């Protein structure tokens, strides 16, 4: 069994391992994750966003579809492995099984760690190109917080990062897949964007006037990756079979556990 550890962005989960099966071991029936393992009852803290370049010539239509199919299959494969890992970690007690908000967030963060770790450390058909990490803090009055967040944190953050649109929407939505035309070819690139926000409000009295101050921390990590298509072409059938085996098991055993009606 291979044990992989995520990067410093997931430092709060560093004692919870990711234990992947040996290459070629395939799907095992007892690996089937439940809807709960997959995150149905937990906060959704991961999004896949496909972004296609504008004005791609029509002659590249089939190639774009092929790359989109690869990304969709990879997403299903990553989500399934994240669910399997959560199932095993709940079973060995390193992840909680209760329904509290804190436990749900911890499981969601762990799924993100699984996806991040597989892509950056355990995926032979993905090439790791670049990493950017940034930490920012804001201390300001409540009335000026929104303006400070835009001017002091986000703009300053984005100035040092190449390839991200300078809009707040793009920062918080993230880029999961970018397909672009480069001269006479279409290539598939994708990015992992992790961010966390912590905030607290402090109230104090000065000259008999009550003031509210907001303190906020913003951690941002972006990883640029690209698809090794030759390697992907060699393994995609195995990835598809893994997903098909999961689906076949769900057809034969659609109900996992007790359902209250």
pLDDT averaged over the chain? 73
The mean pLDDT value for 153-182 works out to 41
The mean pLDDT value for 29-55 works out to 82
pLDDT at 133: 73
Question: Can you tell me the distance from the alpha carbon of 209 to that of 18, in angstroms, rounded to the nearest whole number?
Answer: 52
Element (H, E) at 259: none
- Max intra-chain CA distance, the chain: 72
pLDDT at 9: 65
Q: Give long-range contacts, CB 8 A cutoff, 24+ apart: 17-26.
A: 17/89, 17/94, 18/85, 18/113, 18/114, 18/117, 18/118, 19/85, 19/88, 20/81, 20/118, 20/122, 24/238, 26/238, 26/241, 26/242, 26/245
Q: What percent of the chain has pLDDT over 70?
A: 57
**Residue 171: is its pLDDT beyond 60?**
no
pLDDT at 177: 38
The mean pLDDT value for 227-256 works out to 81
Which residue, among 92, 110, 132, has the nearest Cα to 42 in the 3D structure? 110
pLDDT at 94: 95
**Residue 86: is its pLDDT beyond 90?**
yes
User: What's this model's pTM, rounded to 2 decimal places?
Assistant: 0.70
Q: What percent of the chain has pLDDT over 90?
A: 21
DSSP 201-231: EEEEEETTEEEEEEEEEEEEEEEEEEE-HHH
CB environment 95-112: b (16+ within 10 A), e (fewer): beeeeeeebbebbbbbbb
Question: Can you tell me the distance from the alpha carbon of 19 to that of 5, in angstroms, rounded to the nearest whole number?
Answer: 9
Better-scored residue on pLDDT, 158 or 71: 71
DSSP state, residue 33: P
Q: Which residues contact 148 (CB under 8 A, 6 or more apart)?
A: 138, 140
């Amino acid at each position: 069994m291979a044990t992989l550890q995520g990067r410093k962005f997931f430092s709060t989960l560093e004692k919870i391992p990711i234990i992947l099966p040996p290459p070629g071991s395939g799907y095992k029936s007892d690996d089937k994750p439940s809807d709960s393992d997959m995150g149905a009852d937990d906060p959704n803290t991961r999004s896949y966003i496909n972004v296609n370049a504008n004005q791609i010539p029509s002659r590249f239509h089939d190639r774009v579809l092929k790359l989109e199919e690869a990304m969709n299959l990879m997403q299903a494969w990553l989500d399934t492995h994240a669910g399997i890992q959560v199932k095993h970690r709940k079973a060995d007690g390193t992840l909680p099984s209760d329904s509290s908000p804190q436990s749900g967030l911890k499981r969601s963060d762990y799924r993100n760690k699984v996806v991040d770790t597989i892509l950056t450390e355990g995926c032979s058909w993905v090439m790791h190109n670049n990493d950017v990490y940034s930490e920012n803090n804001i201390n300001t009055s409540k009335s000026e917080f929104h303006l400070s967040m835009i001017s002091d944190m986000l703009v300053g953050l984005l100035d040092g990062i190449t390839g991200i649109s300078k809009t707040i929407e793009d920062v918080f939505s993230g880029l999961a897949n970018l397909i672009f035309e480069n001269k006479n070819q279409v290539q598939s690139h994708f990015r992992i964007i992790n961010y966390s926000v912590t905030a607290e409000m402090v109230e104090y009295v000065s000259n008999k006037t009550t003031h509210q101050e907001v303190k906020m921390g913003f951690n941002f990590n972006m990883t640029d990756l690209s698809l090794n298509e030759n390697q992907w072409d060699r393994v995609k059938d195995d990835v598809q079979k893994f997903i098909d085996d999961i689906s076949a098991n769900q057809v034969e055993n659609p109900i996992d556990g007790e359902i209250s009606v």
